[in-house]
């Protein structure tokens, strides 16, 4: 994806207030992130590890989500598969819950999904990060097809949060 600036990321949040988006923690090393290998950038708040964020580009525009993940003590210890990139980890998949956008979110509605705890899905898909012996299932898909699937899974997660139907 194209590199994004802090300002672009702050204005891209779809499921928090403008005030929250202004205050939340954005990585300081944006310039050093491997954007060419990313389908989305995900990070945890270093001050509040139960908060995570991700930003991607949908239809040419940056879109970001705030997520909540249960405290480390309640992470899934059993083997789990990331629902975005389909990588399996032992203890490395976290339930991440996104408050829904607008009124639905204010009323407490949310959408949850299991995601790689380090949010590095793009790197697992490209084989740039190793999830262990049985991390990646053997598939006949090409890398491009796996990337397309990851992008589609992210888009469908955003669609659930914003309540929009996919075209």
Q: Residue 121 Cβ, how far from Zn ion at the closest point, in Å?
A: 3
Instruction: Give dist(CA 108, CA 123) in Å, integer.
Output: 32
* Residue 31 DSSP label: G
Smaller CB separation from Zn ion, 31 or 77: 77
From the number of C-beta atoms within 10 Å of its C-beta (0-12, 13-18, 19+), residue 159 rates as middle
Cα angle: 48, vertex 75, 118; to 5 degrees: 60
User: Which residues share a beta bridge with 67?
Assistant: 52
Taking the least distance from each CB to Zn ion, the nearer of 14 and 125 is 125
Q: Closest separation between CB of residue 23 and Zn ion, Å?
A: 27
In angstroms, what is the minimal distance from the CB of 131 to Zn ion?
Answer: 9
How far apart are alpha carbons 67 and 89 in whole angstroms? 20
To Zn ion, the closest distance from the beta carbon of 150 in angstroms equals 8
Nearer of residues 21 and 111 to Zn ion, judged by Cβ: 111
Residue with smaller CB distance to Zn ion, 39 or 99: 39
Interface positions with Zn ion (CB under 5 A): 82, 84-85, 87, 116, 121
């Amino acid at each position: 994806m194209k590199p994004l600036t802090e300002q672009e990321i702050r204005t891209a949040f779809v499921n928090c207030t403008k005030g929250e988006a202004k205050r939340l923690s954005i990585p300081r090393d944006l310039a050093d992130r491997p954007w060419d290998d990313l389908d989305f950038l995900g990070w945890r708040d270093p001050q509040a590890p139960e908060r995570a964020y991700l930003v991607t580009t949908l239809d040419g525009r940056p879109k970001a989500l705030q997520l909540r993940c249960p405290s480390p003590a309640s992470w899934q210890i059993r083997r789990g598969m990331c629902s975005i990139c389909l990588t399996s980890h032992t203890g490395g998949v976290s339930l991440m819950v996104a408050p829904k956008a607008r009124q639905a979110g204010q009323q407490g509605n949310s959408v949850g999904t299991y995601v790689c705890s380090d949010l590095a899905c793009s790197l697992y898909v490209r084989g740039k990060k190793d999830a262990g012996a049985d991390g990646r299932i053997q598939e006949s898909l090409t890398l491009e097809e796996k990337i397309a699937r990851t992008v589609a899974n992210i888009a469908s997660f955003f669609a659930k949060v914003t309540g929009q139907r996919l075209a």
